[in-house]
Chain A
Amino acid sequence: DSGVTQTPKHLITATGQRVTLRCSPRSGDLSVYWYQQSLDQGLQFLIQYYNGEERAKGNILERFSAQQFPDLHSELNLSSLELGDSALYFCASRPGQGNEQYFGPGTRLTVT
């Protein structure tokens, strides 16, 4: 158990809908990273937050957005969903000392 929690575990929704994925980092970790894992693309970085502020963006679609709240939990919002958005979405947190990231169990999103 990495100490990072994500909800829900599974999400099935239809094209055009909007969903919210939630992540709680390890206790004391201020940095949260979101990644998408699909069969053809592998693990791809989406976005990073540090103590409530956006720090870095990867290949995140304009339909996707995220935020980090004062209690440090983070949410990833996906809207106007397409079939190709079906994937595993992971969040990871990083301790203040060290560069390694600890991943949560992921949310499996299926868009039908």
Chain B
Amino acid sequence: EDQVTQSPEALRLQEGESSSLNCSYTVSGLRGLFWYRQDPGKGPEFLFTLYSAGEEKEKERLKATLTKKESFLHITAPKPEDSATYLCAVQARNQGGKLIFGQGTELSVKP
């Protein structure tokens, strides 16, 4: 069964304190792995797509990496505005493009 597990469930950082979020996945034929940011009561906001092991994508203070079993979202020198829930999702081949989401990591960055 295709599955996504994110850790930790919650992460509290001080402003400027870098850290990483983990996404472990099992999927029968990976088409893509996706990272989203979600603010309370809002829709998920697309951040990155990763397709193959070794691939990396960067956007401002965020960097996403992919291996055959997991993905990491590295946050460098975070700011309070980076506080949100970060969702990881996988898309399997031959399943119509649906996304299978993890439960998310709730990030809080204190000034």
Q: Do A and B come from one complex?
A: yes
B41 to A56, Cβ gap below 8 A? Answer: no
- Of the listed stretches B11-19, B42-50, B74-82, chain A binds B42-50
Residues of B within 8 A of A108 (CB): 41
Residue in contact with B43 in the complex, picked from A31, A56, A105, CB distance below 8 Å: A105
Q: Report the minimal beta-carbon distance from A12 to chain B, rounded to whole angstroms.
A: 15
Q: Report the minimal beta-carbon distance from B102 to chain A, rounded to whole angstroms.
A: 7
A99 to B46, Cβ gap below 8 A? Answer: no
Q: Which single residue of chain B is at the shortest CB-CB distance from A99? A: B32
A42 to B49, Cβ gap below 8 A? Answer: no
In the assembly, what is the distance between CA of A48 and CA of B31, in Å?
17
Also in contact, A106 and B42, with CB within 8 A (given A99-B32, A99-B49, A99-B91): yes
Query: Which bucket holds chain A's interface residue count?
Result: 20 to 34
For the complex, is B98 an interface residue (Cβ under 8 Å from A)?
yes
Q: Report the minimal beta-carbon distance from B103 to chain A, rounded to whole angstroms.
A: 5
Residues of B within 8 A of A35 (CB): 99
Also in contact, A45 and B102, with CB within 8 A (given A101-B46, A103-B45): no
Q: Which single residue of chain A is at the shortest CB-CB distance from B42? A: A105
Residues of A within 8 A of B89 (CB): 43
6 A-B pairs in the complex with CB atoms less than 8 angstroms apart:
A48-B98, A99-B32, A99-B97, A100-B32, A100-B46, A106-B43
